[in-house]
Amino acid sequence: MLTEASTYDELYRNFRWDIPARFNIASAACDRHADGAKRLALIYVDEDGGARRISFDEMHDWSCRFANVLKADGLARGDRVAVFLSQSVELPIVHLAAFRSGLVSVPLFALFGEDALEFRLNNCGAKAVVTDELGWEKLSKIRDRLPELGSVYIVDGAPRGTRSFWSSIEAASSSFETVDTSCDDPAIIIYTSGTTGNPKGALHAHRVLLGHLPNVEMVYDFLPKPGDVLWTPADWAWIGGLFDALFPAWYHGVPVVGHRARKFEPQAAMQLMADHAVRCVFLPPTALKLMRQANVKHPGVKLRSIFTGGESLGAELLDWVRATFGIDAHEVFGQTECNLVIGSNSRLFPIRPGSMGKPTPGFDVRIIDEMGKEKPRGERGIIAVRQPNPVTMLGYWRNPEATAKKFVGDFLVTGDLGRQDEDGYFWYMSREDDVITSAGYRIGPSEIEDTLLKHPAVALAAVVGIPDPIRTEAIKAWIVLRPGVVKSDQLAREIQNFVKLRLAAHEYPRHVEFTETLPMTATGKVLRRELRARG
């Protein structure tokens, strides 16, 4: 999408969208690389460290076979196929099979419980699900409450009432003609994180892959380059794992490392990157914070780009990344409904700690008020993206009311508050519903959280507002301490004074509670509503 430039202004000014009328993700991200040359697509590393190398040719063959399986099962264009798997060999096969069949894939986070599964599967009306035996343990308990679900395929066995994924593939023909799809035809439903209210299914068209490319190319420092190998610990069940990493890499023919870790282990992550010559990595902020906490080092890690987003990093973490890896972490901003509209690249413009960067080429991002009127530079408002553009969802699945509320005039409103400075940098402040109103002040939690992380005892922190009879709301900090640090009232007071001295008297947390973990979404974002509910 991008022609490499030496300045951001040149890159942004010269960019033009080129979206073909007919487009299919499977053709673009797999088939055109499946030329018989056995080009490497996936390095899948199992729990014991064994690596399996899989080509685009194999991905093409398997996904064509599974497309035939789904067709034989009676699934027709527009039907939904749920993918209830973590990073695995099978996950992209299912998505590619759905795309080439004109079906709609629905990624589901492997750690979802029964209620979360039941809601999403019933909401999207999935007719088939692909999962593993662990997923089936949950799914079997709600199967009788899913009237539209027909077939369940298991990748590592075939318990009673299910079918073997691999046996089905082996018995099917590898000859399948990919459906001729429009760039605007539905391709995937990705459910929102559910930070506010019930999750909503963002229905995206095939063009969503193309819409991600300008940011991916800019932030990964002009992907692709010779020798690039990409990895992310981010789950492939959400838009970040799928469209910030897996499918854009494959669009460019870049191999991806896949690995299902039971939990993120900082030193194991370094070893993985060294073992498989990873050059480009998407590390969510939580992963970077855990790596900093563990003080990771490995001489074999030689990254050329670090892509991150979801929470602001802050100056201390940015400095740590630079000192550890020798390169800058490039932040992005986006959301499930309209992703990767802001980003950074330190070769194009200096990184400003706390800033998300500048608008991605091809996107017009503004700060507006509730009525859709643009606000002056420097003022707080709603981050909004002018429409149309190819990365924006078609709408929320079966929820036209919520879809209508997502747009004001010519803009999609993100629901995030921020500001744009005089030099064009965007600064995230908070979710609209995360704003704390205390003693007449409107306070965003991000700046307080960044300051808390600078305290030597603090590993992770989240800030919320709780009811206060005098101030309307009081600021409360939930803190995970670094290993070996003992919680105490004295430490809580020390942390409070630390923030008061560095920010302002009205912004320090009047309440501090130490906790072992923070509740997070599948995307690694803190679920502040859960913390507010705890009080």
pLDDT of 222 above 70: yes
What is the Cα gyration radius of the chain?
Answer: 23
Spell out a b/e string for 359-376, using b for 16 or more CB atoms within 10 Å of the CB, else e: bbbbbebbbbeeeeeeee
pLDDT of 310 above 90: no
Q: How far apart are CA 524 and CA 515, in angstroms?
A: 17
What's CA 18's distance to the chain center, in Å?
A: 25
pLDDT of 314 above 90: no
Which of 41, 37, 54, 22 lies closest to 178, judged by CA?
A: 22
Which of 173, 182, 190, 196 lies closest to 235, judged by CA?
A: 190
Average pLDDT (13-22) is 97
Which residues make Cβ contacts (< 8 Å) with residue 55, sequence separation at least 6?
34, 38, 39, 40, 41
pLDDT of residue 527: 85
Q: How far apart are CA 315 and CA 337, in angstroms?
A: 29
pLDDT of residue 438: 77
pLDDT of residue 313: 85
Asked if residue 264 lies in contact with residue 287, where contact means CB atoms within 8 angstroms, the answer is yes
Q: What is the mean pLDDT of the chain?
A: 93
Given pLDDT bands bounded at 50, 70 and 90, which one contains residue 1? Answer: very high
Which amino acid would we find at residue 525?
K
Average pLDDT (419-436) is 85
Asked if residue 110 lies in contact with residue 135, where contact means CB atoms within 8 angstroms, the answer is yes
Which residues make Cβ contacts (< 8 Å) with residue 488, sequence separation at least 6?
none
Average pLDDT (86-93) is 98
pLDDT of 195 above 50: no
Residue owning tokens 């996950």: 91
Average pLDDT (416-425) is 96
Higher confidence at residue 262 or residue 304? 304
pLDDT of residue 448: 87
Question: How far apart, in Å, do the first and last CA atoms of the chain sit?
Answer: 47
Average pLDDT (16-32) is 98
The DSSP code for 213 is H
DSSP 44-110: EE-TTS-EEEEEHHHHHHHHHHHHHHHHHTT--TT-EEEEE-SSSSHHHHHHHHHHHHT-EEEE--T
The H or E element spanning position 230 is strand 230-231
Q: Of 265-274, 281-290, 332-341, which gets the smallest average pLDDT?
A: 281-290
Residue owning tokens 């690249």: 345
Q: Of 95-99, 241-245, 451-455, 501-505, which gets the smallest average pLDDT?
A: 501-505
Higher confidence at residue 314 or residue 20? 20
The DSSP code for 344 is -
Q: Of 76-90, 154-168, 292-306, 456-470, which gets the smallest average pLDDT?
A: 456-470
- pTM, two decimals, is 0.85
- Side-chain-facing half-sphere of 284: CA atoms under 13 Å: 21
The H or E element spanning position 360 is none
pLDDT of 439 above 90: no
Spell out a b/e string for 5-43, using b for 16 or more CB atoms within 10 Å of the CB, else e: beebeebbeebeeeeeeebbbbbbbbbebbeeeeebbbb
- Ordered by where they begin, the domains of the chain are 51-181 (3.40.50.980), 435-534 (3.30.300.30)
SS3 per-residue string spanning 449-462: HHHHHCCCCEEEEE
> Within 10 A of 419 (CB to CB), how many other CB atoms are there?
18
pLDDT of residue 196: 47
Average pLDDT (134-158) is 96
Asked if residue 280 lies in contact with residue 305, where contact means CB atoms within 8 angstroms, the answer is yes
SS3 per-residue string spanning 267-285: HHHHHHHHHCCCCEEECCH
Strand 201-205 relative to strand 395-396, pairing: antiparallel
Asked if residue 69 lies in contact with residue 170, where contact means CB atoms within 8 angstroms, the answer is no
pLDDT tens digits, one per residue of 319-342: 999 999 999 999 999 999 999 999
The proportion of the chain whose per-residue pLDDT surpasses 90, expressed as a percent, equals 81
Which of 95, 260, 270, 274 lies closest to 187, judged by CA?
A: 95
Q: How far apart are CA 152 and CA 112, in angstroms?
A: 17
pLDDT of residue 381: 95
**Partners of residue 444 on adjacent β-strands:** none
pLDDT of residue 432: 66
